[in-house]
Amino acid sequence: MIKMKDILDEKDKRLRNISKEVTFPLSQKDKDTINDMIEYLHDSQIEELSEKYNLRPGMGMAAIQLGINKRYFVVVHEVTKEDDEEQKFDTYVIINPVMISHSEEEIAADAGEGCLSVNRDVEGYVKRYARVKFEGYDIDGNKISIRAREELAIAFQHELDHLNGILFIDKITNNNDGIRTI
């Protein structure tokens, strides 16, 4: 299981590396890492497990955040409806992701963005596209295409930035310039 100490801190220069394309088939080590990332992100969003295992809540993680210089990321997105008693999640694994299209509309997270590698609160807005379409590959090397909007679109763009050596703090502004916040 991934622990907080395994996640690179913003001061670590490796986070600024541009990640390298992944070749298929994936190694067992990469498959295990992806499963560990999914487990961490899932458990970190469930309050009892987050407290029990001392996990900072997170919705996405890129391989580079674990010091692995490969182009893949995982997003575990809570989709629980208000009347559901149990938390439910959609899990996305995108290997060699490419954003192939996006909306003209830009949005920002009203509460600001956070990052497992930035272990402090940072005030401000990060402009992101409201809707995006990504292509890449799944864990078995099959081509996939995913459309995302709003919160999920923000997460995909945040993780893609990681693969390009960019942290959200590089893009933050104190002004939302009138764009819609969610």
Residue 30 has pLDDT above 80, yes or no: yes
Q: Pick the catalytic residue: 10, 39, 105, 159?
A: 159
Q: Cα angle at 70 between 114 and 107, to 5 degrees?
A: 35
Per-residue confidence band for 1, with pLDDT thresholds at 50, 70 and 90: confident
At residue 55, the pLDDT reads: 94
At residue 157, the pLDDT reads: 98
Tens of pLDDT along 85-138?
788 999 999 999 999 999 999 999 998 999 999 999 899 999 999 999 999 999
The pTM assigned to this predicted structure is 0.95
At residue 143, the pLDDT reads: 98
- Distance, CA of 115 to CA of 26 (rounded, Å): 26
**CB–CB of 22/72 below 8 Å?**
yes
Percent of the chain with pLDDT over 90: 88
Query: For the chain, what is the radius of gyration of the CA atoms?
Result: 16
Compute CA distances 151 → 8, 27, 44, 54, 64, whole Å: 24, 31, 17, 25, 22
Q: What is the mean pLDDT of the chain?
A: 95
Tens of pLDDT along 59-87?
999 999 999 999 999 999 999 777 777 88
The yes-or-no answer on residue 159 being catalytic is yes
